[in-house]
Amino acid sequence: MNLILFSCKARLNSYFRQKKALRLFLLAIGVVLSAMYSWIFAELLQKTAQGALELTVEKTISYTNLLLLAVIILRGFFPAYIPRAEFISRLYPIKPIKRFWLELVVELASPFYFILFNFLMMLFLLSPIYGFAFFMQSIMVMVAAHVTRRSLQLFVERRMRWGHSTFISAAVMGAAFLALQAKAPMFEPNDSLPMLLVHIASLASFVVSNFLLEQAAVEPRLKVVSHTSNSRRSLGWRLFKNNKTAKQLLFFAIGFKLLMLAVDATVFTNKGFHVFDKNMSMWLFVGPLVLYSYVFNNLWGFYKNMWLTIERTTGNYKDFLKTCLLALRIPLMIDAGLMIAYVAIFNHEHAMFILLMYATAILVLTPISIVASIVSPVVVKGGAMSFSAKTSYLFNFISILLMGMLFLPLIHPLLYLIYPLLIGIAFFALVAVLKEYKSYKYKLFETFFKA
């Protein structure tokens, strides 16, 4: 217990060690926003109970829990992938079960979960309809979402011993949990005490399955660089293959996009409409935005030795741009192939818009990614196990904003005129940064090689 308390205190101190005033201000904003949203949801529940809305109280609470579930899981993967943290070195003599509980508790002791818990607590205090049983279900949904995210991160970062007894046990317990959720979902409100106890027991088994899954996982392979004497081998392919962290994140980004397209294709096949039409924000996953937000917005952070090689040999702008495009080429070709296959099979009615939007997104996001790589570089430390985003949050949100503006033609075709404007702004920003590159290159060197 003392070790857990010490680790929680150390983590919170590390969060506020740098830029303390700014982070305290952001935390205060988060608390205020959570209180405001809890008041909004309390009013929504009140109006629903009075029959002013078509929704029922149960549906409103279930949608709230689903929103909570989605926010927690997606937070670890979008707009940038956040790897799992190791709070204690592997060399420290501590039992696996103790290490697991330590990491689980310390991960929950964060400003993000504090804000979410504040939202649920305020909703519980403000709304008489949102009783203690519903509050406990929401807490269980929050823990289940966190454990789900941990499990997904294990599959991304670690090699699994698929035939090991711990993995088989974890798979059986996880399958039992999913079967129960399919029969009686945890996110649907139920004030029955026996059902609440069943959900608590199933959540406990899911946590145990996560522990067993962690024991079935082994350390990631060491970085292996492949060399070839074949001059015909593409430099872009070798860049994509040799950088394990970049390759891992790019594969995950492509898999994430494939999952979103598969969800829309399944809904369209079964119900005859597109998820993207019901929720416009889902269009973000049709374009190449995920690839840029995971890797390309910090290209030189992943290929810092390539940047140094070009800088020390020619320093020519053409060489910088050529190397950037080589690194982007293979992942974008895979991503574009998936998108074209999706359009050809499942989405003929939006084909013109999707193709124009995708091509424009590449022309807009590529210059922005080069600008981000030069202006706001981020050090990629120690492979996939560092607890930090690999790209700039600022430029990720700029990319999301620009990508969102590409959806405006869905409102009216005349808004296609905004496309050349955004392309012009992106290339103007690139030219402006390249002109000031002589001052930025010192920042790049200090960031990558003196950090």
pLDDT digits (tens, 9 = 90+) for 299-316: 888 888 888 888 877 767
Instruction: Note whether residue 229 is domain-resident.
Output: no
pLDDT for 384 equals 43
- Cα dihedral 270, 276, 282, 284, rounded to 10, equals 120
Closest by CA to 161, choosing from 208, 119, 217, 123, is 217
User: Which tops the pLDDT comparison, 287 or 281?
Assistant: 287
328 and 389 assigned to the same domain: yes
Q: What is the DSSP string of 51-115?
A: TSSSS-HHHHHHHHHHHHHHHHHHHTTSSS------SS-TTS---HHHHHHHHHHHHHSSHHHHH
- In order of 122, 301, 451, the CA distances from 239 in angstroms are 50, 13, 23
Mark 330-348 as b/e (b = at least 16 C-beta within 10 Å). Answer: bbbebbeeebeebbeebbe
292 and 410 assigned to the same domain: yes
pLDDT for 367 equals 92
Instruction: Note whether residue 227 is domain-resident.
Output: no
Residue for token digits 């952070």?
Answer: 301
Least confident of 27-36, 82-91, 213-222, 225-234: 225-234
198 and 246 assigned to the same domain: no
Where in the sequence is the domain holding 313, given as residue range(s)? 235-449
Instruction: Note whether residue 241 is domain-resident.
Output: yes
Q: How far apart are CA 218 and CA 214, in angstroms?
A: 8
Work out the percent of the chain whose per-residue pLDDT is above 70: 89
Residue for token digits 């205020």?
Answer: 32
Of 218, 253, 276, the position where a domain reaches its end is: 218
pLDDT band, residue 451 (cuts 50/70/90): low
94 and 161 assigned to the same domain: yes
State which H helix or E strand residue 119 sits in. helix 111-126
47 and 165 assigned to the same domain: yes
Instruction: Note whether residue 224 is domain-resident.
Output: no
Instruction: Note whether residue 228 is domain-resident.
Output: no
Q: How far apart are CA 123 and CA 137, in angstroms?
A: 13
pLDDT band, residue 342 (cuts 50/70/90): confident
pLDDT for 276 equals 65
143 and 68 assigned to the same domain: yes
pLDDT for 368 equals 92
Instruction: Note whether residue 148 is domain-resident.
Output: yes
pLDDT at 233 over 60: no
104 and 43 assigned to the same domain: yes
284 and 397 assigned to the same domain: yes
Q: What is the mean pLDDT of residues 396-403?
A: 88
pLDDT band, residue 425 (cuts 50/70/90): very high
Of 183, 218, 253, the position where a domain reaches its end is: 218
Amino acid at 242: N
244 and 202 assigned to the same domain: no
Q: What is the mean pLDDT of residues 393-409?
A: 87
Instruction: Note whether residue 230 is domain-resident.
Output: no
65 and 191 assigned to the same domain: yes
Instruction: Note whether residue 226 is domain-resident.
Output: no
pLDDT at 24 over 90: no
Q: What is the mean pLDDT of residues 166-187?
A: 87
Least confident of 271-280, 291-300, 319-328: 271-280
pLDDT for 102 equals 82
pLDDT at 422 over 70: yes
182 and 291 assigned to the same domain: no
**pTM as predicted:** 0.57
Of 154, 189, 218, the position where a domain reaches its end is: 218
Work out the percent of the chain whose per-residue pLDDT is above 90: 8
pLDDT for 381 equals 67
pLDDT at 97 over 80: yes
335 and 210 assigned to the same domain: no
Q: What is the mean pLDDT of residues 58-79?
A: 82
Number of domains in the chain: 2
